[in-house]
């Protein structure tokens, strides 16, 4: 739809009003006073308002058709729910943004919620981007590939797919069906014979001329027709070609066409639901059990089911279901282009407005409706069943997780089950490319958006000194925590810290925290046992000197091992990335004023970075794109030492 900076396109008038009172302690009277101070100058126009606490953190983002009328409601505290009363009590300032109409306000509200993730807004928990299939249009032999992220490349995008697995399976079948290349342009240019994909009949080998541009363009056209929903047309065409090849006794071509037809049949047969004739549509159904919300989404494109995904929005307590689903959809379509049709299991009060807002972002009409009968109703009922089943699984997992966290609390003498567990580890090879890592887990599982890696860069840290690396990691992590959240009310302080290592690593971390005056964080070292972990009997080291092991079949042991394994995976990946960058590094990277373009030009001219270093000033001046001043700078950098 629009970028995070899209508010600039609204020609808005921004104003910030603030009143101080009550300090940092929530005070309902002070909150109402702050809101009333804003009301004095509020217009009766569409727009978005942000409510902020005493530190300026955003508590809530809301939209309004008439700002003055909407914000006035927050001063009538007796009519507010307990949740909104708590929000008003924390409010100390507001930011107002006016828009041209209510649809623009709805779009802006969704953008700001995703940017600030306020504590009182319904949040789309799953921020992972969706995969698409991209059929590029910037080459005479277009490439078909998986794509995530911003859609900057020129070409046709097909999606979203619900998962990487569903897009990979479809891509594999499409390669068999249309024989389109999937290699990079550089790989394509440097081939002098067909690769393995040609041998296994997944590519037509345009790189070495096994198919001409016109023949390849026909394959591309068929692929576009198929992905656009015209699978029957493609199937009829392939069937006719196969029959013609068989009649002409060209059995080799007939066999190739037969295999392509089988690939098409595989794609059609792998659909979990029958969506033929539906065109492009998304289907959403919601389930609510004990205040926990689950939303199931089916993605239909060209009459094909491209997968489904479950979502569990956060901050939904005491929020009406209509408001939850509206907020969810607005945030969901911030990242994903909407189809023309969206089927819901309920009528939304602001459904027409939401459709108008979504349509404004893509340039066509978007309709939200609740089917009452026929195939569409059956699909919606299926989505509803999936939503309820997914929510049941989620609740069962949460119950198991809650039990494990209670056992963790008992194991390490915590006052209550931990809400935030941090796990630390280091990785290096003989002291080189050293990196530390932190992973975070809580009642809902791993919080991957809060993982952190620490490049070990303190000159006082001796290469290969695991204890010194752990000290540096803890100094940086907790110095930042003390600076950004000294009152510990943002939820970013750990209730439990697990350290991959024994007594030495534990004591190094303990010393750092003591120097900072932090004495209330529970630290636990997790070390391999006498059998070096082969028996699954890790040794747990506590600050008071105790050490113990758990039974090999204890569920809480499996849980702690899973945390340890996750930090292993993350830190090793970070170390490999750093090592790969170091291998590809060049002395030219350190020269001030030498960017990627000049670096490439120098390497193309001289061949190697060593040759650049040894070149005379006169030779450097002859290089393309290198001025006399830059040549002198280069020469001085390598020789004036």
Tokens 């956060």, residue located: 314
Indicate the residue among 236, 269, 302 that finishes a domain. Answer: 269
Please check whether residue 307 lies inside any domain of the structure: yes
Q: Do the strands 304-311 and 432-442 form a parallel or antiparallel pair, or are they unpaired? A: unpaired
Query: 569 and 439, same structural domain?
Result: yes
Please check whether residue 404 lies inside any domain of the structure: no
Query: What pLDDT, on a 0 to 100 scale, did the predictor assign at position 433?
Result: 67
Measured torsion, CA atoms of residues 145, 148, 149, 155, in degrees rounded to the nearest 10: 20
Pairwise CA distance, residues 435 & 453, whole Å? 7
* Cβ atoms 175, 203 nearer than 8 A: yes
Indicate the residue among 90, 116, 142 that finishes a domain. Answer: 116
Total domains, the chain? 5
Q: Can you list the alpha helix ranges (DSSP code H) found in 584-616? A: 596-606, 609-614
Query: 565 and 511, same structural domain?
Result: yes
* Cβ atoms 91, 28 nearer than 8 A: no
Please check whether residue 336 lies inside any domain of the structure: yes
Query: 254 and 138, same structural domain?
Result: yes
Query: 108 and 80, same structural domain?
Result: yes
Measured torsion, CA atoms of residues 170, 446, 480, 486, in degrees rounded to the nearest 10: 130
Burial category of 441 from C-beta neighbours within 10 Å (exposed 0-12, middle 13-18, buried 19 and up): buried
Please give the structure tokens belonging to residue 214.
Answer: 């016109």
Sequence-distant (6+) residues with CB within 8 A of 487 are 24
* Cβ atoms 193, 101 nearer than 8 A: no
Pairwise CA distance, residues 397 & 405, whole Å? 12
The domain spanning residue 100 has which CATH number?
3.40.1440.10
Indicate the residue among 371, 392, 413 that finishes a domain. Answer: 392
Instruction: Name the more confident of 204 and 641.
Output: 204
Predicted TM-score of the model (pTM)? 0.67
Please give the structure tokens belonging to residue 605.
Answer: 């001219």
Query: 331 and 298, same structural domain?
Result: yes
Share of the chain above pLDDT 90, in %: 34
Sequence-distant (6+) residues with CB within 8 A of 243 are none
pLDDT at 158 over 80: yes
Query: 252 and 146, same structural domain?
Result: yes
330-341 average pLDDT score: 89
Query: 613 and 577, same structural domain?
Result: no
Residue 529's nearest CA partner among 519, 541, 518, 517 is 541
What mean pLDDT is reported for the chain?
A: 83
Pairwise CA distance, residues 205 & 207, whole Å? 5
393-418 average pLDDT score: 88
Pairwise CA distance, residues 118 & 61, whole Å? 7
The most distant pair of C-alpha atoms in the chain lies apart, rounded to whole Å, by 90
348-354 average pLDDT score: 92
Write the CA distances from 190 to 180, 193, 196, integer angstroms. Answer: 17, 9, 15
472-481 average pLDDT score: 90
Query: 366 and 246, same structural domain?
Result: no
Query: 335 and 301, same structural domain?
Result: yes
Which of the given ranges, 159-168, 326-335, 623-632, has the highest pLDDT on average?
A: 326-335
Please check whether residue 226 lies inside any domain of the structure: yes
Measured torsion, CA atoms of residues 62, 351, 299, 127, in degrees rounded to the nearest 10: 0
The domain spanning residue 629 has which CATH number?
1.10.150.20
DSSP, collapsed to helix, strand or coil, labels residue 309 as strand
Q: How confident is the model at residue 611 (pLDDT cuts 50, 70, 90)?
A: confident
Please check whether residue 400 lies inside any domain of the structure: no
Query: What pLDDT, on a 0 to 100 scale, did the predictor assign at position 55?
Result: 87
Query: 548 and 439, same structural domain?
Result: yes
Share of the chain above pLDDT 70, in %: 87
Please check whether residue 403 lies inside any domain of the structure: no
Please check whether residue 408 lies inside any domain of the structure: no
Reduced 3-state DSSP string for 22-52: CCCCCCHHHHHHHHHHHHCCCCCCCEEEEEE
Query: What pLDDT, on a 0 to 100 scale, did the predictor assign at position 196?
Result: 87
Run of H or E including 145? strand 144-147
Report the range of poorest mean pLDDT among 363-372, 429-438, 463-472. Answer: 429-438
Q: Do the strands 281-289 and 341-344 form a parallel or antiparallel pair, or are they unpaired? A: parallel
Summarised one tens digit per residue, pLDDT across range 440-459 is: 999 888 998 899 988 887 77
Query: What pLDDT, on a 0 to 100 scale, did the predictor assign at position 63?
Result: 94
Please check whether residue 64 lies inside any domain of the structure: yes
147-165 average pLDDT score: 83
Query: 203 and 168, same structural domain?
Result: yes
Query: 591 and 559, same structural domain?
Result: no
Which residues constitute the domain of residue 500?
421-582
Residue 447's nearest CA partner among 436, 455, 439 is 439
Pairwise CA distance, residues 219 & 569, whole Å? 41
The domain spanning residue 382 has which CATH number?
3.30.420.340
């Amino acid at each position: 739809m629009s970028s995070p900076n899209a508010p600039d396109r609204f020609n808005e008038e921004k104003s910030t009003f603030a009143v101080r009172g009550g300090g940092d302690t929530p005070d309902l009277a002070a909150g109402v006073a702050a809101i009333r101070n804003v009301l004095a100058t509020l217009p009766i126009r569409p727009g978005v308002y942000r409510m902020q606490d005493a530190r300026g953190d955003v508590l809530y983002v809301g939209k309004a058709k008439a700002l003055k009328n909407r914000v006035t409601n927050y001063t009538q505290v007796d009519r507010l729910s307990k949740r909104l009363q708590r929000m008003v009590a924390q409010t100390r300032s507001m930011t107002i943004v006016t828009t041209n109409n209510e649809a623009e306000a709805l779009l802006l509200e969704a953008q700001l919620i995703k940017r600030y993730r306020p504590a009182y807004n319904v949040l789309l928990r799953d921020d992972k981007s969706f995969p698409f299939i991209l059929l590029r249009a910037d080459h005479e032999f277009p490439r078909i590939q998986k794509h995530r992220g911003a859609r900057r490349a020129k070409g046709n995008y097909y999606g979203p797919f619900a998962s990487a697995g569903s897009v990979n399976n479809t891509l594999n079948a499409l390669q068999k069906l249309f024989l389109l290349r999937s290699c990079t342009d550089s790989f394509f240019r440097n081939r002098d014979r067909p690769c393995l994909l040609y041998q296994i009949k997944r590519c037509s080998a345009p790189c070495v001329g096994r198919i001409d541009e016109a023949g390849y363009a026909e394959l591309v056209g068929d692929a576009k027709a198929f992905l656009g929903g015209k699978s029957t047309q493609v199937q009829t065409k392939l069937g006719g070609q196969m029959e013609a090849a068989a009649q002409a006794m060209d059995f080799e071509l007939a066999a190739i066409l037969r295999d392509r037809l089988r690939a098409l049949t595989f794609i059609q047969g792998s659909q979990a639901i029958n969506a033929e004739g539906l065109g492009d549509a998304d289907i959403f159904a919601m389930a609510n059990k004990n205040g926990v919300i689950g939303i199931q989404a089916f993605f239909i494109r060209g009459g094909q089911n491209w997968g489904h995904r479950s979502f569990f929005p956060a901050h939904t307590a005491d929020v009406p279901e209509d408001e939850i689903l509206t907020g969810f959809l607005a945030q969901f379509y911030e990242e994903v282009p909407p189809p023309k049709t969206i089927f819901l299991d309920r009528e939304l009060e602001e459904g027409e407005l939401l459709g108008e807002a979504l349509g404004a972002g893509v340039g066509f009409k978007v309709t939200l409706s609740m089917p009452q009968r026929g195939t569409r109703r059956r699909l919606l009922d299926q989505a509803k069943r999936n939503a309820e089943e997914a929510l049941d699984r989620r609740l069962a997992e949460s119950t198991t997780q809650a039990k494990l966290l209670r056992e963790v609390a008992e194991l390490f003498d915590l006052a209550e089950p931990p809400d935030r567990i941090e796990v630390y580890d280091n990785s290096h090879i003989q002291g080189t490319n050293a990196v530390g890592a932190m992973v975070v887990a809580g009642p809902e599982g791993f919080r991957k958006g809060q993982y952190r890696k620490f490049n070990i860069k303190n000159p006082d840290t001796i290469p290969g000194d695991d204890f010194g690396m752990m000290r540096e990691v803890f100094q940086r992590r907790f110095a930042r925590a003390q600076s950004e959240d000294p009152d510990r009310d943002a939820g970013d302080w750990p209730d439990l810290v697990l350290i991959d290592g024994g007594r030495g690593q534990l004591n190094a971390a303990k010393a750092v925290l003591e120097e900072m005056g932090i004495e209330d964080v529970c630290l636990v070292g997790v070390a391999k046992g006498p059998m070096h972990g082969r028996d699954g009997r890790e040794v747990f080291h506590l600050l008071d000197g105790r050490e113990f092991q758990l039974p090999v079949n204890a569920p809480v042991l499996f849980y702690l091992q899973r945390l340890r394994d996750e930090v292993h995976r993350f830190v090793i990946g970070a170390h490999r990335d750093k090592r790969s960058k170091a291998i590809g590094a060049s002395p030219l990277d350190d020269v001030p004023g030498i960017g990627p373009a000049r670096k490439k030009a120098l390497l193309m001219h001289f061949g190697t970075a060593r040759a650049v270093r040894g070149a005379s000033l006169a030779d450097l001046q002859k290089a393309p794109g290198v001025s006399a001043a830059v040549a002198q700078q280069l020469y001085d950098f390598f020789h004036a030492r």
